[in-house]
Amino acid sequence: MFKKVPGTRDILPEEISYWQKIETTARKVFSLYNYKEIRTPVIEEAALFSRSLGEFAEIVKKQMFLIKNKEDSYVLRPEGTASIVRAYLESNLDKIRRFSKFYYIGPMFRLERPQKGRQRQFHHIGAEALGSSSAGVDVEMIMIADALLKAYGVAGYSLKINTLGCAKDKKSLVGLLRKELKGKLTGLCQECKERFKHNIIRILDCKKDGCRKIVGSLSIQDKYLCGDCKEHFQQVTRGLDAGEVSYEVSRQLVRGLDYYTRTVFEFKHEGLGAQDALGAGGRYDNLVKDLGGPQIGAVGFAFGVERLLLVGDLKKNELRNSLVFLISLGDRAREKGLKLLDRLRSCGIAADTDYENRSLKAAMRLANDLQSKLVLILGDNELEKNIVILKDMGNGQQEEIATREVVNKIKERLI
């Protein structure tokens, strides 16, 4: 028998309602902020990501799913930001409406060692706003992410933010780190010794105890930041304060992708264990230019859907779909019942029934398994009286309703 590829998952029908709920809620929240959906291909040129994320980024060095043939080198996209900038430029959107707000939902691929919350195919829900350097857009982006977490019923998350400064500031940061870390190399882990050569900024967020101790002893603070970048960051924190979003400034938050400049942020949740990032993002003011476009600012974020599902309240919430399940008891009721089903469906109500003549108890169990929201019970008694019994599976209450009233009553309940 064939098995799925390690690090991938089948999303089976019993789970799909959570995914649909996550996606519908995201679409609603994004549209409130006037973000428009964009869908880009899952395969892209490999060079798009090495150029955007940086040759020495972990994703590019170790995690790309390469598809090679004689002439081309493609990859399964490891993230959405670079693809969206490519699409924005390729379709000349920068010339039509320079400031554009996009959102996206879709699978991403990284060749990682699978573990809890870390897969080879996972899904992003993300947003990118291209064409503005204003701190107000950073604030909006973080507020959307926060609104999404609240809409999903995620509790107990925290938000860390930092600023990396502009490209010049990042160079100063590299210089300062080189100077301060030079004499402390022996205390760093093997990976950070490597990072010292090509990716020194990442030493700041190494999780190993020895490296954390050394990083804690550095005296860099915000010395690498220019006046403009300091001001930009102050505007961001002031905006978050005004929007009543809780956050913590962490100078160790640096992110693993080269394209970031200025604001970076990460939402964490302890319940996730080792892979504790629910989502992350930041500003990337030079990426559009690096990919051949004009010098315009941009900012975005992405959540991992699988991780949202691990900590969201969607499962606990007994999320029932809007299915109405009809239980007909006896031959005459079954005949009438088929007509009633037809009526419901033609009025746009999703309806199902038991075709196996189950007992009332067994049919109720089936209705429950199918996560029906409402159950209709029709037997000889009810036929006599021209009524049906309507049971709400959420609160267990039931009532008798006149047959001609069925559609209206159900519609009221499904709102």
User: In the chain, what is the straight-line distance between the N-terminal and C-terminal CA atoms, in Å?
Assistant: 44
Separation of alpha carbons 225 and 209, rounded Å? 27
Judged by CB, which is closer to ligand HAM: 107, or 210? 107
Cβ partners under 8 Å of residue 292, min gap 6 = 89
Indicate whether 302 belongs to the interface with ligand HAM (CB under 6 A). yes
Query: Which of residues 23, 45, 58, 112 is near ligand HAM by CB under 6 A?
Result: 112
Q: For residues 268 and 248, what is the distance between their CA atoms, to the nearest angstrom? A: 11
285 binds ligand HAM (CB under 6 A): no
Provide CB contacts within 8 A for 238, sequence distance 6+: none
- The residue range among 198-206, 280-288, 317-325, 329-337 that interacts with ligand HAM, by the rule CB under 6 A, is 280-288
Q: How far is the CB of 81 from ligand HAM (least distance, A)?
A: 4
Query: 266 vs 354, which CB is nearer to ligand HAM?
Result: 266
Q: Which of 54, 300, 312, 337 binds ligand HAM (CB under 6 A)?
A: 300
Residues in the chain: 415
Torsion, CA 289, CA 293, CA 299, CA 303, rounded to 10: -110
Task: Give the Cβ contact number of residue 238 at 10 Å.
Answer: 12
**282 touches ligand HAM (CB under 6 A):** yes
Closest distance of CB 389 from ligand HAM, Å: 45
Q: Do residues 163 and 229 make contact, with C-beta atoms less than 8 angstroms apart? A: yes
With binding defined as CB under 6 A, does residue 301 bind ligand HAM? Answer: yes
Task: Name which of 34, 111, 18 is nearest 314 in CA terms.
Answer: 18
- Is there binding between residue 307 and ligand HAM (CB under 6 A)? yes
C-beta separation of 121 from 108 below 8 A: yes
Find the binder of ligand HAM among 126, 239, 297, 337 (CB under 6 A). 126
Nearer to ligand HAM, 115 or 246 (CB): 115
Tokens 């394209």 locate to 259
Q: What's the token pair of residue 365? A: 């169990």
Least Å distance, CB 53 to ligand HAM, is 9
Question: Does 278 help bind ligand HAM (rule: CB under 6 A)?
Answer: yes
Site for ligand HAM in 317-376 (CB under 6 A): none
User: Count of residues binding ligand HAM (CB under 6 A)?
Assistant: 25
Q: Which stretch binds ligand HAM (CB under 6 A): 226-234, 236-244, 278-286, 374-382?
A: 278-286
Give me the least distance between CB of 2 and ligand HAM, in Å please.
23
Residues 57-86 that bind ligand HAM (CB under 6 A): 79-81
Q: What is the DSSP letter of 5?
A: P
The token pair that represents 323 in the structure block = 């299915």
Rounded Cα distance, 297 and 220, in Å: 26
Q: Which of 18, 122, 157, 196 binds ligand HAM (CB under 6 A)?
A: 122
Contact positions toward ligand HAM, by CB under 6 A? 79-81, 110, 112, 117-119, 122, 124, 126, 128, 277-282, 300-304, 306-307
